[in-house]
Amino acid sequence: MNVLKTALLLAGLTALFGAVGLLLGGGRGMAVALGIAALTNLYAYWRSDSLALAAHDAREIDARTAPDLFALVRDLASRAGLPMPRVYLIDSPQPNAFATGRNPRNAAVAATTGLLSALSREEVAGVMAHELAHIRNRDTLTMTVSATLAGAIATLAQFGFLFGGRGEARPNPLVLIGTTLLAPIAAMIVQFAISRSREYAADREGGLICGNPLWLASALQRIEAGVAHVPSPSAESHPATAPLFIVNPLSGRGLDTLFSTHPATAKRVAALHRLAGEVGGAPARAGGFRDAHWTGRGGPWG
């Protein structure tokens, strides 16, 4: 089903590429736009993970540079039946995290330094389990490719506004303005329609992977509170990557607030509490994440 959703998403965004090209440059513009879309689709499939990580200046860590975080992800990946993903840190005070990659063998998880300083080990385990659930469900392909294509559509619209033909070949100024404003929004709508439905599934699976859904519920509340007070300049500069994060990282200014990238946190927390009731809401089984060597919030993550 995810393969079909990915194909439909790519087809919808490719069609939007063509429509923008048609409005900006007629038949020739549409042909050029579709050619760009085809190349972007191919490039996004293979490189969208690298682009998302680079957009937020993420740095890869290992068992030597950040042993606690690396060991936590390794243990969670083992419990989820997944290969060990690459692990990245983003130097940002905003608490947040995301996963990326075209398949489980080419996946990565990224956490901000703010997440590690604001959350307990159990809460971080819930967050990382959520991201691993996205990897196991192969949501990361859809989300990273759509983020890349949505950003490309916004760039194409802006480029067309600045260089959209000369003389009689130049479109009506109102068409240029409308395309520049509406094309990125349309691309974001396509993204959000898919990403929002996937958050509930990743929450449920993440709660089961970490061993206690209440850890993830608590983490979501802390992250939402942190995002409300701490902006993320890299996310504001690359709003197309917002659906990748566990909680919308955007500050709420401008066009970004017209549509929600995620379900309401209160609804997600309520669903996790219901899940905890179903599984007993007990602490994780033996081999969980309460570590005698763990120093708690603000510990030595690296």
The residue with tokens 């396509």 is: 190
* DSSP 8-class letter at 239: G
Largest Cα–Cα distance in the chain? 73
CA end-to-end distance (rounded Å), the chain: 38
Residue (of 154, 137, 126, 157) closest to 247 by Cα position: 126
CB 135 within 8 A of CB 244: no
Sheet-wide strand order for 86-90: 59-61, 86-90, 107-112, 97-101
State whether residue 185 is helix, strand or coil.
Answer: helix
For 119: left if phi > 0, alpha if psi spans -120 to 50, otherwise beta; the answer is beta
Report, as residue numbers or ranges, the catalytic residues. 131
Distance of CA 174 to the CA centre of its chain: 33
